[in-house]
């Protein structure tokens, strides 16, 4: 049997060269879907590239490219965005906001092509800063997004594009689904270069410490800021469950396991079997002081929430990043 119940027609994944997009393509192919994988990056820069998919390089800010991307499809997953960790989005606000061009063109093209299901990947960065000022944050509910005061740049683009999805659903009847992702991590993600997020950055730093013997690990901020982190497999599970559901409102997809950044460092170090010295950089980008996911709506509407414990997910992620760092070190000395 081809395909998966609830996903009509052939499937397009926009942003397929990215971390989450690459994992999503792999899962969809395993489920038997015909998949068109689309990204603006050249093939060598894709995180994963699957031979079973139709792989296209297209700049989806261009309306003609968006039309080519979605033609003949029944389901579209739009994960395409210019983004990264806090070090990137705080210093590239205009670049992050320009993703609204992709979000707009993909919705218009999907409407005109008669796409039946359209998924949009939003972010916990849509939530107001004044609800995230303390490490002991109250978990964020979906209705906390308004009155609006999202993360400058990236968060505003995500919130605006959420509203577009809502109104395309209301005005044109396209079934849109919106997930607010909370800090996704795992193997095959960005782990160096400035766009990596905290789990990958810390795994890289600990791996370097393990391989070099210098056990000092740089930590951005005082390390008391809190976050929850969701493993990639849970992210993909939640994305598919949401897309095949009847839930038209934006919903959190994230873990509720809250930790400080210092605790995250200590956990990775323990996985590596190291004693590390944390060196705090108080001038580095830190983001909000606390952020956690309230999964009440997710559990009520989908009967599900992420289940991978942080340590288990970090064990898999650290093993993968350690190997990437090891290869890099070997190449430099060869």
Per the confidence metrics, is the pTM higher than 0.85?
A: yes
Same domain, 82 and 165: yes
Pairing of strands 11-14, 117-123: unpaired
User: So what's the pLDDT on residue 156?
Assistant: 97
- Specify if 5 maps to a domain: no
Instruction: Flag whether 4 is in a domain.
Output: no
State whether 36 and 169 are in the same domain.
yes
CB atoms within 10 A of CB 147: 7
Tokens 């839930």, located at residue = 247
Asked if the structure places residue 155 within a domain, the reply is: yes
Considering the domain architecture, whether residues 181 and 98 belong to the same structural domain is answered as yes
Q: Are residues 153 and 241 in the same domain?
A: yes
- CATH number, position 238: 3.40.50.720
On whether both 178 and 44 belong to a single domain, the answer is yes
Q: Are residues 237 and 211 in the same domain?
A: no
Are residues 220 and 237 located together in one domain of the fold?
no
Q: Can you give the chain as a three-state secondary structure string?
A: CCCCCCCCCCEEEECCCCHHHHHHHHHHHHCCCCEEEEECCCHHHCCCCCCCCEEEECCCCCHHHHHHHHCCCCEEEECCCCCCCHHHHCCCHHHHHCHHHHHHHHHHHHHHHCCCEEEEEEEHHHCCHHHCCCCCCCCECHHHHCCCCCCCCHHHHHHHHHHHHHHHHHHHCCEEEEEEECCEECCCCCCCCCCCCHHHHHHHHHHHHHHHCCCEEEEECCCCCEEECEEHHHHHHHHHHHHCCCCCCCEEECCCCEEEHHHHHHHHHHHHCCCCEEEEECCCCCCCCECCECCHHHHHHHCCCCCCCHHHHHHHHHHHHHHHHHHHHHHHHC
Contact criterion met (CB below 8 Å) for 96 and 81: yes
CATH number for the domain that contains residue 319: 3.90.25.10
Asked whether residue 300 is assigned to any structural domain, the reply reads no
131 and 73 assigned to the same domain? yes
Q: Tell me, yes or no, whether 26 and 129 share the same domain.
A: yes
The predicted pLDDT at position 2 comes to: 35
Q: Is 199 exposed, middle or buried, given 0-12, 13-18 or 19+ CB atoms closer than 10 A? A: buried
Domain limits for position 129: 11-185+231-253
Q: What is the pLDDT of residue 218?
A: 96
Beta bridge partners of 290: 226
- Separation in Å, CA 105 to CA 148, 195, 254: 24, 25, 28
Whether 147 and 203 map to the same domain: the answer is: no
Residue 272, domain member (yes or no): yes
pLDDT per residue as tens, the chain (334 positions): 233 467 999 999 999 999 999 999 999 999 999 999 999 999 999 999 999 999 999 999 999 999 999 999 999 999 999 988 878 888 899 999 999 999 999 999 999 999 999 999 999 999 999 999 999 999 999 999 999 999 999 999 999 999 999 999 999 999 999 999 999 999 999 999 999 999 999 999 999 999 999 999 999 999 999 999 999 999 999 999 999 999 999 999 999 999 999 999 999 999 999 999 999 999 998 889 999 999 999 999 999 999 999 999 999 999 999 999 999 765 664 4
Structure-block tokens of residue 102: 């992709």
Domain check: are 249 and 270 in the same one? no
Flag whether 164 is in a domain.
yes
My answer on whether 21 and 145 are in the same domain is: yes
Name the residue with tokens 């000395």: 333
Residue 299 lies in a domain: no
Q: What's the confidence (pLDDT) of residue 330?
A: 59
Number of structural domains the chain divides into:
2
Residues labelled catalytic: 154
Question: Residue 301 falls within a domain, yes or no?
Answer: no
Count the alpha carbons within 13 Å of 115 in the hemisphere toward its beta carbon.
31
């Amino acid at each position: 049997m081809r395909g998966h119940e609830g996903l009509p027609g052939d499937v397009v994944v926009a942003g397929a060269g990215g971390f989450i997009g690459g994992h999503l393509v792999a899962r969809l192919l395993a489920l038997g879907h015909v998949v068109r994988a689309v990204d603006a990056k050249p093939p060598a820069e894709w995180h994963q590239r699957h031979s079973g998919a139709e792989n296209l390089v297209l700049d989806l800010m261009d309306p003609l490219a968006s039309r080519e991307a979605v033609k003949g499809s029944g389901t579209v997953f739009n994960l395409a965005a210019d983004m990264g960790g806090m070090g990137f989005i705080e210093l590239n606000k205009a670049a992050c906001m320009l993703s609204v061009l992709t979000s707009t063109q993909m919705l218009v093209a999907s409407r005109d092509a008669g796409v039946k299901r359209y998924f949009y990947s939003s972010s916990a960065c849509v939530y107001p800063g004044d609800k995230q000022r303390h490490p002991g944050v109250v978990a964020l509910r979906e209705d906390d997004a308004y009155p609006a005061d999202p993360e400058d740049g990236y968060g505003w683009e995500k919130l605006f594009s959420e509203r577009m999805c809502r109104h395309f659903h209301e005005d044109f009847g396209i079934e849109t689904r919106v997930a607010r992702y909370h800090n996704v991590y795992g193997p095959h993600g960005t782990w160096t270069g400035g766009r990596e997020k905290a789990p990958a950055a810390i795994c890289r730093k600990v791996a370097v410490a393990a391989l070099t013997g210098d056990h000092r690990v740089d930590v951005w901020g005082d390390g008391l800021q809190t976050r929850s982190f969701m493993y990639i497999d849970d992210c993909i599970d939640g994305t598919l469950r949401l897309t095949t559901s009847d839930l038209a409102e934006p919903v959190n997809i994230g873990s509720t396991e809250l930790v400080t950044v210092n605790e995250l460092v200590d956990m990775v170090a323990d996985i590596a079997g190291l004693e590390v010295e944390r060196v705090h950089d108080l001038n580095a980008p830190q983001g909000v002081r606390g952020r956690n996911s309230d999964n009440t709506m997710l559990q009520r509407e989908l009967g599900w929430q992420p289940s991978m414990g942080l340590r288990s997910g970090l064990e898999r992620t650290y093993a993968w990043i350690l190997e990437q760092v090891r290869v890099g070190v070997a190449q430099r000395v060869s």
